Amino acid sequence: MQSPIDLPDAKVQVDPSLGKLHRHYKPSNATLINRGHDIMLRWVDDAGYIRINGTLYQLKQCHWHSPTEHAINGKRYDLEAHLVHQSSDGKIAVIGILYKIGRPDPFLSMLEHYIEALADTLEEEEVVGFVDPNQIKFGSKGYYRYIGSLTTPACTEDVLWTIVDKVGTVSRHQVKLIRNAVHDGSKMNARPLQPINNRPILLYTLPVDED
């Protein structure tokens, strides 16, 4: 039940009953923290929630991995954003967005100055001010869904994963900026792929007439 995993077409089951992902985000005060193994944007106040199967998961933080942790049909891309949410009873839901090299990501462009300021720090916080998580573009209403784990120690299981099915773009400079700011002595901060172990991987896609 560990993450990340490959998302191969051969093992994916299309499930229209999953329905659209309902995001109810709002602007809130946020800080950036260099945790040594990644850069984390943490919302200090209420930044809204997502609703999955009737459960509300509050948005807590966002961080980035390079290269991507998840793969689609065996292919890993250049950057992966994780939006971490938590329910009132402590359950975790993570939305993953994959990016390949191309046009700059507007959300990261907004944060570049703050990330640069954190490059030579560890566990220091940089106050960003109001950040609207709605500015994190998904690029698609389709997504993969499976049960996995956190990808950093203690790799806690029973995490509800949602991976956006469209790969976005990020500039080479933005990926380099995030990698150079992280003090892990490595060229990457992505965990190796883990066995699927017969877990169902579901896929929600919009009906043709709604696409």
In this structure, are residues 170 and 108 in contact, taking their beta carbons and an 8 Å threshold? Answer: yes
C-alpha 94, offset from chain centre: 6
Q: What DSSP string describes 142-183?
A: -EEEEEEE-SSTT--EEEEEEEESS-EEE-HHHHHHHHHH--
**What is the token pair recorded at 132?**
């609207």
Give the chain's largest Cα–Cα span.
50
Does 37 participate in catalysis according to the annotation? yes
Q: Which amino acid is at 83?
A: L
Query: Choosing from 22, 24, 37, 65, which is the catalytic residue?
Result: 37
CA distances 2 to 50, 82, 156, 169, Å, are 23, 16, 8, 27
Task: Bin 169: left if φ > 0, else alpha if -120 < ψ < 50, else beta.
Answer: beta
Give residue 193's identity as a one-letter amino acid code. Answer: L
Q: Catalytic amino acids?
A: 37
